Amino acid sequence: MKLKLAARILLGVALVFAGTAHLTFARLEFQNQVPIWVPADPDFVVIASGLVEIVLGLSLMFSSKFQKQIGLATALFFLAVFPGNIAQYLNHANAFGLNTDEARAIRLLFQPLLVIWALWATNWLKNKRPRQESNLRPRD
């Protein structure tokens, strides 16, 4: 259980850091990742996604009551931003030290791990309902 708590807090810290980066020092790099087909201003997308990351990160760190819902929301967020990672690969966009197609492809491979991390660390896959014992006796 301590491992899952540590994983949840670590993921939360990473999301708060990334969200802060969206709003400050890496804002232009994140704008370069917004696919051209997204029907919104890239700066708006970066700001909005940064705010979502900060909220999700803080929620992962400080909320235990709704951790399954937060885990699912975080996993869905990682799925929602995946097209930006694909666009970075397809457009050969350099950002965050990913300046080769190989590096960008490796990043794509790690996105599913983030989804799994969010779900595992928040016990989303664990059923909390106690198993019902059957009152029926086997027939002789």
Tens of pLDDT, residue by residue over 109-132, are 999 999 999 999 999 977 655 555
Query: Is residue 33 predicted with pLDDT exceeding 90?
Result: no
Enter the DSSP assignment of 129.
Answer: S
Map tokens 């694909």 to a residue.
86
28: DSSP letter: H
pLDDT value at residue 135: 58
User: Quick check: 138 pLDDT over 80?
Assistant: no
Asked if the model's pLDDT at residue 137 lies above 70, the reply is no
The structure's pTM equals 0.86
pLDDT of 60 reads: 98
pLDDT of residue 120: 96
**Of 11, 22, 33, the residue nearest 92 (C-alpha):** 33
Dist CA 121 CA 114 (whole Å): 10
Each domain of the chain, given as residue ranges in start order, spans 2-121
DSSP-derived secondary structure letter, 95: B
Higher pLDDT, 94 or 120: 120
pLDDT in tens, 2-19: 999 999 999 999 999 999
Q: Give the mean pLDDT of the chain.
A: 90
How far apart, in whole angstroms, are the C-alpha atoms of residue 36 and residue 86? 12
C-alpha–C-alpha distance, residues 61 and 59, integer Å:
5
pLDDT at 76 over 90: yes
